[in-house]
Amino acid sequence: MATKGTFDPEYEIEINKPELGLRGFLVIDNTVLGPGKGGIRMTANVTMEEVKRLARTMTRKNSLADIPFGGAKAGIIMPKGVSPEKKKGLVRGFALALKEYIPSRYIAGPDVNSGEQEMQWFAEALGDNKAATGKPAAIGGLPHELGSTGFGVAQATKIAAEIAGINIKDATVAIEGFGNVGTFAFKYLQEMGAKIVAISDSKGNIYSKDGLDYETAMAVKKKEGSVIHYKGAQKLSADDFFGLPVDIWIPAAVTDVVNDSNKDRIRAKMIVEGANIPMSEKIENELWQKGIIIVPDFVANMGGVISSYAEYIGYTPDKMFQLVEEKVIGATRAVMEKSLREKRNPREVAMEIAEKRILQANRN
């Protein structure tokens, strides 16, 4: 355990329950501003190191959003194809193993492969609705399925584009990832007048120079299981998808999707990080030095945790979306205007603002 208020994680906890087949991780990074808040990632290859990086991102994100949450993240190793009953047992076992930390030091939320159902299981296991946010509406939740994160990504994109001199109307956009974040970013950006020319999911990548349609893409995904069956769209290799000369490129899937193998292919004018840690800070800085404007993850995708806070204090969906819009626009404008004015990496600027608030709170 680290000293509260330092920039070392306060708790790094590994859970091993062989009788349940359960292995998981919790990192409570910083609780100066409030209990650590962060989702539970459920993948076959999640690691303590990944969770640790994500927890630090949450500390910065919650501080920058100016909400009374600290930063944390959790992960459960979840084999592919696990049955719903088995998954429920793993989620409940994980919750019970962490009981002493919840909700005073940690509040759970959705992440990769976890949504409102998993959050309901988590809260029910502990008999405490405050144990998790993103729960079903029927039990007082504001599920992330409402699209708060993708809505926030769209708002951040609009403001950053405006500051960079890119007109969002008719701006060309590629979105990597077609889950909760990518689909809602598509929906709201299309409503703003942007032209979404490329999207991808786990099965492949598609492109249309004339633009893709949100409703059509959603229908194809639901019926066929993948956007690659979108009629009239061109299928692209991953290399070609990464190399599209678009105005705005939005990674909205998993960690480290931009790496040393593909970083030099990117030709977008702007990257808006819908996913958490879609690239290392080193690669991000290399791209920024090449002249690519980058909206960091903990600025662009803070809509989800703002929604979590709105749920925590009992807001309606309408009030939640209003709060997300206000806070994302305010944070994006503050970071991107200062970045361009001072010719500094946006992540450096955002981290400075976020960490200043934490240090100030620690002194008080």
Q: Which residues are catalytic?
A: 73
- β-bridge mates for residue 250, sequence order: 175
Of 78, 67, 82, 77, the closest CA to residue 32 belongs to 67
Alpha helices of 173-261 — where are they, by DSSP H? 180-192, 214-224, 238-242
CA distance 108 to 70: 12
CA distance 39 to 85: 21
Given a contact cutoff of 8 angstroms between Cβ atoms, the answer to whether 4 and 31 are in contact is: yes
Ranges of beta strands (E only) in the chain are 11-17, 22-30, 36-37, 40-43, 70-77, 106-107, 172-176, 195-201, 204-207, 234-236, 248-251, 270-272, 293-295
Let me know if 24 is exposed, middle or buried by CB neighbors in 10 A (0-12, 13-18, 19+).
buried
Angle subtended at Cα 242 by Cα 329 and Cα 154, rounded to the nearest 5 degrees: 15
